[in-house]
Structure 1
Amino acid sequence: MEDKLKRGLPIGTEDFGEIIEQGSFYVDKTAFIEEILKDNAKVKLFTRPRRFGKTLTLSMLRYFFDIENKNRNRELFSELYISNSEYIKYQGQYPVIFVTFKDLKEDTWEECLKSVKSLISDLYDKYSFIRKNLDDRNKKKFDKIFYEEDGNYEKGLLDISKYLYRYYGKRVILLIDEYDTPLINAYEKGFYDKAITFFSTLYSSVLKTNDYLQTGVLTGILKVVKEGIFSGLNNIEVYTVFDEHYSSFFGFTEKEVEKTVKEYGLADEIAKVKKWYDGYKFGNSEIYNPWSILKYLKRGKTESYWINTASDLTILRLLKQANDSMFEGLLNIFNGENSVQQIDVSSEMNSMQDSQEIWRLMLFSGYLTVDKKIDEKTYSLKLPNYEVKSFFKEKFLDYNYKENKGLFKKMINALLLKDITKYEEILRKILLNSMSYHDGAKEEKFYHNLILGMLLYLDDKYSIKSNIEEGYGRTDVLMFPLNKKLNPGFIFEFKVSEKGDDESMEKAVNEALNQIKDKEYEVEMQQHKVKDILNLGIAFNGKKVKVKLG
């Protein structure tokens, strides 16, 4: 009997009307409508990570404002917050243009442009009934887009807003979902310059000089400033993860999650749910990942559900190219610490090699969150939850080692079994398979980061520290076992050999082991009562490696 009381879970459904009509699970966010109407900004841009309810929120606005089917749509809101608000009087009062670009992920500009034309043509088809009211000139313009001919698609949204205004005698509500998805995809696929030229005209024409616009609401991940999409638009407000206003409307609050897990008989699991899916901070609101919560309610077990969204590949590729300071900051974060970074809300996609752009993309995409604000543009960042941490742990292997993933895991097992000969043998194979000639630069830092990245895979068994003061010097890597009875502790010291011959490599690896002994790197580990301690000296020369146990 209890199961029948549970509402169906609308996983993959982003149509507000369908969810309400079917009586599916829905967290009431209609107070957002009230806030939108109080906000005098002509255009509002909301930047949030993927799958945090942006499309559903805009769908809700479409059903609320749309002048078509207004009586039927009013019923959808009868049991929701907005029905008792004075702002319910605005329901069904405006023509609405709703367009989503979330699926524009083509491989070439030609394919992308074709999809955009089809999308705008479908919009014209939806409003084909207004064609009969147009004069001959505008009928020709309408038909060119309707039939996907050589029309003026860059002004397609502006023109349809004009036609709707003339038909209804009311300005339009413009809703653009995931406006930056085609731009991020274009950057990844190598046709960003062509995409930004087209979309800048498309967006700026309908947002800047549109006398037929009542208000515009856009969603995306980033505020892209390239080519002046938003420049010259004086009456725009951008609401990011930093802002308190609207902070609780995208994603689930803790109270909403507690109520939800109770409804589905999972109240005893709240601590585990919090570990996996909580941790986002939007403004001052503590937010859970809504997509992952729905998937968890469906399957009843905690695992990674949200990951593998649009920006994964971009982020992984950028991280592989990151400089030393960028990598050091990430290592701190992977170890449960924070990284202090300068973050600007605006992004220039063509400078993605810049480390600050990478930090920004990671933050706004949901792979990092704000721990605290230090000053106007300086923030302390951290991983939000275990779901994201598990993503980095797995994707590090997938992206950096690919066909060597099996070897990598065997190497880690050899280390845990204290089979140093096997560990050295597999490490040598991985280096030969994974590194190009140029990767083998004679910098100790490079090898340090390479090995530490591998060791991070053991973070559930070890507390791993890098470049910290130990004894009378600085050690490269210390691995403290979380279970001192089950696993040994490890101290690594890396050296780069000037030459790759056996004598030179032996000399370098002995220098590493002597440094561990002379600088008394074992002090802290002994203080933590770790009795089984393995000292490892590792010498590199290009793709050559020698590992020795001290």
Structure 2
Amino acid sequence: MQKKQVLQGIDNFKEIIDSNGYYVDKTLLIKDLIDIPDKIILITRPRRFGKTLNMSMLKYFFEIPQCRRYDMEEEDMSYLFEDLAIVKVGERYKEELGKYPAVYLTLKNAKQDSWEGTLYNIKETIALEYERHRYLLESDILTNIERKKYNEIINREASVYEYTDVIMNLTHYLKRYFKKSCIVLIDEYDTPIQAGYINGYFKEIIEFQKSMLVKGFKDNKALKQGVVTGIMKVAQESIFSDFNNPTVCTVLMHEHKDKFGFTQAEVEQMAEYFGLTSHLEGIKKWYNGYIFGTDTVIYNPWSVIKYMYNIHNGFKPYWINTSDNRIIKEVMNLDKVEGREVVTKLLNGEEVRTEIEENVIYQSIKTNPNAAWSFLVHAGYLKAYDRFAPHLKFEYKLEIPNLEVRTIYEEMIRTYLKEETSIAEDVQMIVESLLENDIEKFERLLKELYLGQVSYNDVGDKKQSLENLKETDQNKKYESFHHGFILGLFTLISGDFRIESNKEYGLGNPDIVFIPNDKNKTAYIFEFKWESTKGSKSLDILANDAVKQIRDKKYKEGVQAVHGHEDVVCIGIAFKGKEIKMIKTC
């Protein structure tokens, strides 16, 4: 038997099988769908995790061959499934092969910069599906009015409102022709919604999608089953609740948890087949780490295939999307404090725990931390695990899943800080002065950076000046800002050292510990004290308070005991407004 080959960038099931491509068997998804009675299922997974390929597989399995007459694929497709899992689980499932008419629409390419461009793309997709079923025009099942509307869709002459009727109308035509209810497959439904959010036509696309999906799915007597895929369940304008709330399966749920992406066993089997077992450790570090359901470890299939297609390209990020990056930037811009601080904590491996929403409201990403982190979980930029419910809602631990995603965050935070503050060279000089143990220069450069680049608008609320906040609220804002800002500076510069934040040493938790990997080099402990502009303490008092805490809590002794660095410099830093005072000790 001819050895199978790795095929990259192909999401057509038939093409993979016909081209002797290596196929990771996900056909038991068919069994899942047959076994459940739900009429409409929404399955959400990160982009490039096999959604389009699975939808193509479902189409070739369920669809009556006659539907493909004008695709020149009218033959029996049962050969595609020979030796795959679905034909081994019982006759009941094989009997469903080629049994139903199918409507298949993929919106993965409907993501243009303008509403007009995206609508044009959607119209083209719909028109091509109508053309695929143009044998209906050759029959006598359409009325004159229906025939006219059908031709208007094919000829791209219908109004935008008529395009929202296409699922409803086409399923009824097909049921009338075949005398069987239809399978409807809508792939990547939310791709144009995300594009609309980014490019300013969100209202238009939400209204269009809601109208098309509600008409197509709600109380549709011609519908056997509808499967919709996307990145997340969009919670705007009752887009799903208006058609009786479909069954929703997100990355946080148990259902179908191993049907999208590659499991550990699947990657090991694939590596063994291609003689790449020795590469498994690197593959795991770079592309593993996702958790679907509560316990199933998943690899990024796109990146695994890209790597195995040409191992000479090495381990690197293959899974990059500029649209997602724009939203990540908005997440980090949550009042320019919380987003940056949390991303920095994630990069430093610190624990972050929060509520994760099943439904995402796009407009809340900029202002609501839970919505922001929920987007990143559903989109595949964070993994959520260790679920528990301290209140009425589940909380999860968040973590960057692997090296591939980590490099994306690191590049984003570098680009973000460079774009927002133009401080890349200044930061490099600040860190270098610290590494050279020139604390006076470190203090001077940090002061200049604060005076020149830091704004009250960064620390405060967009609707309320920081100076007008209560003292307790000022302190809370300052605490997050100064800690996050300094931590972000260190994270920005790569080097042979690591940064730890609020980790236990001695009798307490120093704010930041800067640890060179070489034990012969100097380690640094930072403790911050801050007070609002309305406070009575001077900078000298605050800085001495920081130094006293370092000594009293025995931070130096703790760092030396854990890491073995003989030379440890302790620095107390006081902040008040934009003013800074620094005292070196130890």
Mapping 1:415-434, distance limit 5 Å: 415-420=434-439, 423=442, 427=446
Shift of 1:124: 2.0
SS at match of 1:227: coil
Match among 514, 538, 544 for residue 479 of structure 1: 514
Shift of 1:326: 5.8
Shift of 1:256: 0.8
Q: In the alignment, does 2:18 pair up with 1:21?
A: yes
Indicate how the Cα distance of structure 1 residues 276 and 127 shifts in structure 2: closer, same or farther if over 3 A, else same. same
In 2, the alpha carbon distance for the partners of 1:12 and 1:547 equals 55
8 Å contact from structure 1 (residues 440, 543) kept in 2: no
Indicate how the Cα distance of structure 1 residues 337 and 541 shifts in structure 2: closer, same or farther if over 3 A, else same. closer
Identity across matched positions, percent: 35
8 Å contact from structure 2 (residues 573, 580) kept in 1: yes
Match among 321, 326, 350 for residue 308 of structure 1: 321
Residue 46 of structure 1 aligns with which residue? 43
Could you give the per-residue CA deviations for residues 105-141 of structure 1, whole angstroms, max 9, x where no partner exists?
2223233223222322222222233223322101221
Residue 298 of structure 1 aligns with which residue? 309
Residue 245 of structure 1 aligns with which residue? 255
Shift of 1:239: 1.1
SS at match of 2:409: helix
Match among 131, 145, 153 for residue 137 of structure 1: 145
Indicate how the Cα distance of structure 1 residues 338 and 536 shifts in structure 2: closer, same or farther if over 3 A, else same. closer
Shift of 1:348: 2.5
What TM-score do you get using the length of structure 1 for normalisation?
0.89
8 Å contact from structure 2 (residues 506, 554) kept in 1: yes
Residue 63 of structure 1 aligns with which residue? 60
Query: Which range is displaced more, 304-313 or 19-28?
Result: 304-313
Q: In the alignment, does 2:457 pair up with 1:438?
A: yes
In 2, the alpha carbon distance for the partners of 1:112 and 1:541 equals 50
8 Å contact from structure 2 (residues 336, 459) kept in 1: no
Indicate how the Cα distance of structure 1 residues 278 and 259 shifts in structure 2: closer, same or farther if over 3 A, else same. same
Residue 354 of structure 1 aligns with which residue? 368
Query: Which range is displaced more, 364-373 or 128-137?
Result: 128-137
Residue 274 of structure 2 aligns with which residue? 264
8 Å contact from structure 2 (residues 217, 226) kept in 1: yes
Residue 357 of structure 2 aligns with which residue? 344
SS at match of 2:237: helix
In 1, the alpha carbon distance for the partners of 2:18 and 2:39 equals 31
Residue 409 of structure 2 aligns with which residue? 392
In 2, the alpha carbon distance for the partners of 1:430 and 1:150 equals 59
8 Å contact from structure 2 (residues 511, 528) kept in 1: yes
Indicate how the Cα distance of structure 1 residues 409 and 262 shifts in structure 2: closer, same or farther if over 3 A, else same. farther
Mapping 1:86-165, distance limit 5 Å: 86=91, 87-133=93-139, 134-151=142-159, 152-165=162-175
Residue 491 of structure 2 aligns with which residue? 456
In 1, the alpha carbon distance for the partners of 2:271 and 2:506 equals 49
8 Å contact from structure 2 (residues 331, 339) kept in 1: no
In 1, the alpha carbon distance for the partners of 2:62 and 2:52 equals 16
| Residues matched between the structures, number | 542
SS at match of 2:75: helix
SS at match of 1:398: helix
Residue 468 of structure 2 aligns with which residue? none
Could you give the per-residue CA deviations for residues 123-162 of structure 1, whole angstroms, max 9, x where no partner exists?
2222233223322101221222222224311112222222
In 2, the alpha carbon distance for the partners of 1:493 and 1:189 equals 43
SS at match of 2:21: coil
Q: Which amino acid aligns with 2:124?
A: S
What are the ranges of 5 or more consecutive residues in structure 1 without an aligned counterpart?
A: none
Q: In the alignment, does 2:181 pair up with 1:171?
A: yes
Match among 80, 86, 99 for residue 84 of structure 2: 80
8 Å contact from structure 1 (residues 440, 542) kept in 2: no
Shift of 1:331: 4.4
8 Å contact from structure 1 (residues 165, 172) kept in 2: yes
Shift of 1:197: 1.3
Match among 366, 379, 384 for residue 370 of structure 1: 384
SS at match of 2:316: coil
In 2, the alpha carbon distance for the partners of 1:514 and 1:338 equals 27
Q: In the alignment, does 2:19 pair up with 1:9?
A: no
SS at match of 1:125: helix
Shift of 1:232: 4.3
SS at match of 1:381: strand
In 2, the alpha carbon distance for the partners of 1:434 and 1:169 equals 69
In 1, the alpha carbon distance for the partners of 2:74 and 2:35 equals 21
8 Å contact from structure 2 (residues 333, 339) kept in 1: no
In 2, the alpha carbon distance for the partners of 1:181 and 1:405 equals 34
What TM-score do you get using the length of structure 2 for normalisation?
0.84
SS at match of 1:11: coil
SS at match of 1:216: strand
Q: Which amino acid aligns with 1:527?
A: A
CA RMSD of aligned residues (A): 3.0
Indicate how the Cα distance of structure 1 residues 109 and 544 shifts in structure 2: closer, same or farther if over 3 A, else same. farther
SS at match of 1:379: strand
Residue 491 of structure 1 aligns with which residue? 525
In 2, the alpha carbon distance for the partners of 1:130 and 1:459 equals 63
In 2, the alpha carbon distance for the partners of 1:178 and 1:171 equals 23
SS at match of 2:353: strand
